[in-house]
Chain A
């Protein structure tokens, strides 16, 4: 009874970014409440069934994988905020609770990397999962040898070996070549995996059984993607991880000419019957934190479902998708996603069109395609790059980017932008301190020209401050 009231109060919503869930303790065995009470609860707060998760089968190993995969990139921090806003340590207790809740509701795929959360994610994942029998979960990690100093064979192998130690396992279920195509494209790919013999090494590890599935995650230069697929007969990719969502389906290239539409990526994989693992189904929250009119459009059709659920249903509705990853920071994210996938209600054709139309509407907003993945961080000069970009996006979504001092809401919007800017980003970490060294851009999976955007925002802030708009 008490638990029910508690749950009712905190209607899980993605917008509650700052609130860490306190209601995670809904035990798996809790008996469903009576019919009378069920009607009182919104669908968004209803009991999550523990045995309804949608599973997909991996054709090469026969793994029965939960459609929802737990991304360990955005883990919570002890500060109570979304983990990655500062230098705070990971909140291991919260991670354990979320993993417990996920496993109790059928999630069995966990995706991490040696680079995530300032390099702390693998260890936290290992601690949380090692409390379960090894056959209860699948682990995915990556060879994240981005830094030129780790391109050597020795350094790469050391990184790979270290993952076993951190994750406390003796085999890895899914190993990925991390973010191929990014940075230096084909050249960088060859330096990281071919010239040092690492790809051959990993193929050997797969034969030895220490890697059960080998694949790659892809961003950026399409040549690398096409090249790797052309070598499918030789490498026998067990899976490929791509960015797919209703905005990127047809607009990825339009948003940034360096990127490729998800329609093409998914099509190429489906053609070869390679299972797709989906990342950024929600664009780092950009598809849950929408401009108001778009939010209303989605809510109108499903008032009792979260905005985010549309994006997850979209990604999950493609039949050759094996797992849809979600980097969940708090219990509310997890619960909302579980509601969407326990079980998945695939989109109808009409609903798919509806989402594609929605994407067309969204293209009218000039938001910066930052997903807050923090691959660009840490900036050597101390800037908080994602925070600067997200503040700009937030103001854009809320109509607080005045273009002229004659605008009707100029005074209010100016104040909201400037006061909010100082709140979101400490002065010393604001765009005015960007020197344009460009260390960040090659790391951006979305291909944003970060210094250019920061300088643009800085010029805009300068005009707001000087009132010369």
Chain B
């Protein structure tokens, strides 16, 4: 019974969280966004006291049900392990092993140090929810999107607008490789030994395990009834039941209830610790500490070839459009709601949820060493559209705070800078002004390039005070592969 409840809840949570990463239309976030927000590390980084308190209390009462039900990476391992167990003679393939303390606490120590030192890439590497997000958004989302595109293909032919095509693209090679390696390692471990990852590596598992030692309810072996058959131990995917001594290691037990269902003698019960329930001291996790500043790179804007207008002699055909290249930005750009680069780095768990939902192809994981996998913005494929607030709606870690359309249009995340060498009116001798035409805050004016001659080609001038850094100008600039106007990020966003 308890096991069945656990399985049903786990499947529901798992589908919900997975859905968040797959649904590029942004419809289910309104209903299920909370399943990401109650994840442990994002909640800690978001300073979401309510959720953290709830999870701590939950663990103190029921043990590590979080790991069995809420954590998608844990459930993913359960699924893989379950598939593995369906093979012949593999149903009872586990055995008791002692706790690997050095690994658990070692990783936790590294993790906390990384968190304090601001090495976001290392934090993101170990965080279970982030790992799962990366795996889904890098490995499974493309499959889902291709499936959708196939439906869109048929819908188009049936004159239906139920499905629309979405672009599938490699957002970051580094992150993709990390995701693939993580998935392979965890899948192999789960296939062979169940939840090895959760009790030797996962820092969240270690923290919760520390609390669950004192959990009010936990499975206990009734030594009187136990026949020492060892079936429970061989079914335990966390290898924490020492049946010979009738002991269970509660720091590793994830309350999956498999043992209770397995025991043929009714010797295991989920029972209340009646003796003394000493209040566990909450492990304070300082997260507000200042971190290292962001390294600023030198800006070298390569001179770029521009698309040359050719004389038209025949009718029809489409000009070849060269892909845009990413300009070297002295300061990277993070989304409105992030408040600034430091705040963003302090809170982001690099779960890729915002990257998955960005409908404009703007967000992608960073490839920098210190910020590897943390999202950043670039405008080759689209720009940060004024009506879109998707990333701020979905961020579970408070790295991107919720924002309104009005606030967004007043939040300066960067400013546009102009590159004379690329500007079409000067290189091609045609009138343009596409940047000024599309600026949502009218921060760009077209002025004659020669102050003495009002008929000279008009060039854009940027009012940095007004510019919000949305990138419409950069994205829609006809100069290729490098735009003649591009956005430099702001370290700290300001409003007004």
**Chain A residues with a Cβ under 8 A of chain B:** 73, 83-84, 86-87, 114-119, 146-150, 373-375, 377-382, 384, 412, 415-416, 419-420, 422-423, 427-429, 432-439, 443, 455, 465-467
Contact = CB atoms under 8 A, between A and B. Distances in A.
A467 B156 contact: no
Contacts of A435: 424, 430-434, 478
Given A87-B317, A114-B314, A149-B313, 5 more contacts: A115-B313, A149-B311, A412-B161, A435-B431, A466-B386
Given A435-B478, A437-B309, A439-B309, A377 B156 contact: no
B387 interface: yes
Contacts of A117: 314-316
Contacts of A465: 385, 387
Contacts of B310: 380
Contact of A429 (B318, B382, B424): B318
Nearest to A374: B316
Given A419-B164, A437-B431, A439-B309, A374 B315 contact: yes
A150 B424 CA distance: 26
Interface in B368-421: 382, 385-387
B447 interface: no
25 contacts: A73-B315, A86-B318, A87-B317, A114-B314, A115-B315, A117-B314, A117-B315, A118-B316, A118-B317, A119-B314, A375-B315, A382-B307, A382-B321, A419-B161, A422-B165, A427-B382, A429-B321, A432-B434, A434-B434, A435-B424, A435-B430, A436-B437, A437-B428, A443-B315, A466-B387
A150 B438 contact: no
B319 interface: yes
B478 A433 contact: yes
B281 interface: no
Contacts of B315: 73, 115-118, 373-375, 377, 443
Nearest to B382: A427
A455 B316 CA distance: 21
Contact of A382 (B164, B165, B320, B387): B320
A379 B316 contact: no
Nearest to A119: B314
A422 B314 CA distance: 27
B88 interface: no
A333 to B, nearest CB: 18
Interface string B297-315: 0000000000111111111
B202 interface: no
A379 B316 CA distance: 9
A384 B321 CA distance: 12
A115 B314 contact: yes
A321 to B, nearest CB: 25
A422 B164 contact: yes
B317 A377 contact: yes
A384 B318 CA distance: 7
Interface in B444-487: 476, 478
A428 B387 contact: no
Contacts of B321: 382, 428-429
Contacts of A380: 307-310, 312, 319
Interface string B276-308: 000000000000000000000000000000011
Nearest to B381: A427
Contacts of A379: 318-319
Contact of A433 (B311, B316, B387, B476): B476
A73 B161 CA distance: 32
The 7 A-B pairs of least Cβ separation, nearest first, read A380-B309, A119-B314, A437-B430, A382-B321, A374-B316, A435-B432, A118-B317
A439 B478 CA distance: 15
B434 A467 contact: no
Given A378-B312, A381-B307, A382-B321, A436 B431 contact: yes
A146 B387 contact: no
Contact of B316 (A378, A415, A437): A378
Contact of A432 (B311, B424, B438): B438
Contacts of B430: 435, 437, 439
Nearest to B472: A432
B434 A150 contact: no
**Residue picked from B156, B315, B321, B438, most chain A C-beta under 10 Å:** B315
Interface of B: 156, 161, 164-165, 307-321, 382, 385-387, 424, 428, 430-434, 437-438, 476, 478
Contacts of B307: 380-382
B471 to A, nearest CB: 13
Contact of A119 (B313, B385, B428, B478): B313
A437 B437 CA distance: 14
B318 A443 contact: no
A423 B164 CA distance: 8
Given A465-B385, A465-B387, A467-B387, A436 B312 contact: no
**Residue picked from A84, A380, A443, most chain B C-beta under 10 Å:** A380
A49 B161 CA distance: 42
A381 to B, nearest CB: 5
B387 A147 contact: no
Contacts of A373: 315
B309 A381 contact: yes
B385 A378 contact: no
Contacts of B156: 423
B370 to A, nearest CB: 33
Nearest to A385: B318
B319 A118 contact: no
Contact of A146 (B313, B428, B438): B313
A452 B243 CA distance: 81
B150 to A, nearest CB: 14
Nearest to A74: B316
B385 A437 contact: no
Contacts of A415: 161
Contacts of A375: 315
B438 A436 contact: no
B314 A423 contact: no
Nearest to B437: A455
A332 B233 CA distance: 74
B316 to A, nearest CB: 4
B473 to A, nearest CB: 12
Contacts of A146: 312-313
Nearest to A467: B387
A433 B434 contact: yes
Contacts of A119: 313-314
Contacts of A382: 307, 318-321
Contacts of B311: 147-149
A147 B309 CA distance: 13
A419 B256 CA distance: 46
**Residue picked from A86, A149, A436, A438, most chain B C-beta under 10 Å:** A436
A428 B476 CA distance: 9
**Residue picked from B316, B319, B431, most chain A C-beta under 10 Å:** B316
A84 B386 contact: no
A277 to B, nearest CB: 19
A434 B428 CA distance: 15
A443 B478 contact: no
**Residue picked from A412, A416, A428, A435, most chain B C-beta under 10 Å:** A435
B318 A377 contact: yes
B242 to A, nearest CB: 60
A192 to B, nearest CB: 13
A378 B156 CA distance: 26
B153 to A, nearest CB: 10
Contacts of B428: 437
A381 B478 contact: yes
B340 to A, nearest CB: 26
A117 B317 CA distance: 7
Contacts of B433: 435-436
Contact of A87 (B318, B385, B387, B432): B318
